[in-house]
Amino acid sequence: MLNVTVLAVGKLKEAYWRDACGEYAKRLKGFCRFVIEEIPEYRLPDSPSPAQIQIGLEKEGQAILARIPAGAFVAALCIEGRGMGSQELSSRIQRASIEGKSGIIFVIGGSFGLWDKVKEQAELRLSMSPMTFPHQLARVMVCEQIYRAFSIAAHTKYHK
C-alpha cells in the first residue's frame, strides 16, 4: 500500500480544520497509508525584514527536507506552481505508484511560502488556484484532493 504524507508547516489551530483533515484521513485508509506531519513554524517578528523571512524559510525548509525519504515523489504546493485538475492529479499519483516511488509527499509551506531548495527537489510544483487561501483551508483542500484522486482511480461514486 502506498505511503502518502502531507508535510505542512504549522499547526491547525481550530478543531473544525483538524476534524475535516481527520475525516479525509479516515476515508483514505482504504486506499493508502496516509499521515499528516507538522513542521514547527519558524517564529518571526511582527514586521520581518526580507532577510529575516529568508532565514525563516531556510530553517523551515531544512526541517522539511530532513523529513522527505529517499525515492519519494514530492509535490510542493506553491503559488508559481502549475494548476491541474483532479483527474490529472489522480493520474500523477497513480503514475508515481507504478514507477515504484517509496511514497508521495505533498509539502505545504508556512505563510511566506517554501524555501527554494524544497521547490527544487519537488518533481511537481502544484498551484491550487490563482486565488489566495488561508493555510489551514489549503491543508483541508489538499487532503480532499488526495481522497478525490484515489476515488477517481478506484472508480467510486465520490467523483462525478
pLDDT of residue 117: 97
pLDDT of residue 140: 96
pLDDT of residue 159: 66
At how many degrees (to 10) do helices 135-153 and 15-28 cross? 20
Q: Which residues pair with 33 in a beta bridge?
A: 3
pLDDT of residue 82: 94
pLDDT of residue 65: 97
pLDDT of residue 158: 79
Domains of the chain and CATH, by start: 3-153 (3.40.1280.10)
Nearest to 124 by CA among 147, 104, 148: 104
CB distance 24 to 143 below 8 Å: yes
**Pairing between strand 124-126 and 73-82?**
parallel
pLDDT of residue 100: 87
Beta strands in 29-72 (DSSP E): 33-39
Successive 10-residue mean pLDDT values, the chain, 160 residues: 95 95 96 96 93 96 96 94 95 93 94 94 93 89 97 86
